Amino acid sequence: MKTKLLNLYTGVGMIVLFIGIGAHNAKAHCEIPCGIYADSVRISLIKEHIVTIEKSMNQINEISASSTPNYNQLIRWVTNKEEHAKKIQEIVSQYFLHQRIKIVEKDQSEAYSKYQKHLELLHRMLVYSMKCKQTTDLGFTEKLKTTVADFEKAYFHKH
Q: How far apart are CA 12 and CA 146, in angstroms?
A: 50
For the segment 95-131, what is each residue's pLDDT rounded down to a tens digit? Answer: 999 999 999 999 999 999 999 999 999 999 999 999 9
Is the domain covering 32-156 a CATH 3.40.50.970 domain? no
Could you give the CA distance from residue 24 to residue 45 in angstroms, rounded to a whole number?
20
pLDDT of residue 23: 45
Q: Quick check: 45 and 91 in contact, CB under 8 A? A: yes
The per-residue pLDDT for 29 is 53
Q: What percent of the chain has pLDDT over 90?
A: 74
Q: Break the chain into its structural domains and give their ranges.
A: 32-156
Residue 6 has pLDDT above 70, yes or no: no
Whether 118 contacts 154, CB under 8 Å: yes
Q: How far apart are CA 11 and CA 75, in angstroms?
A: 36
pLDDT tens-digit readout, 131-159: 999 999 999 999 999 999 999 999 998 64
Closest CA to 88 of 137, 31, 145, 35: 145
> What is the secondary structure of 39-76 as a DSSP string?
HHHHHHHHHHHHHHHHHHHHHHHHHHHSSS--HHHHHH
User: What's the alpha-carbon Rg for the chain, to the nearest Å?
Assistant: 21
Residue 82 to residue 123: CA distance in whole angstroms: 18
SS3 content of the chain, % helix, strand, coil (to 5): 80, 0, 20
pLDDT digits (tens, 9 = 90+) for 42-82: 999 999 999 999 999 999 999 999 999 999 999 999 999 99
Asked whether 112 and 105 are in contact (CB, 8 A), the reply is: yes
Global confidence as pTM:
0.78
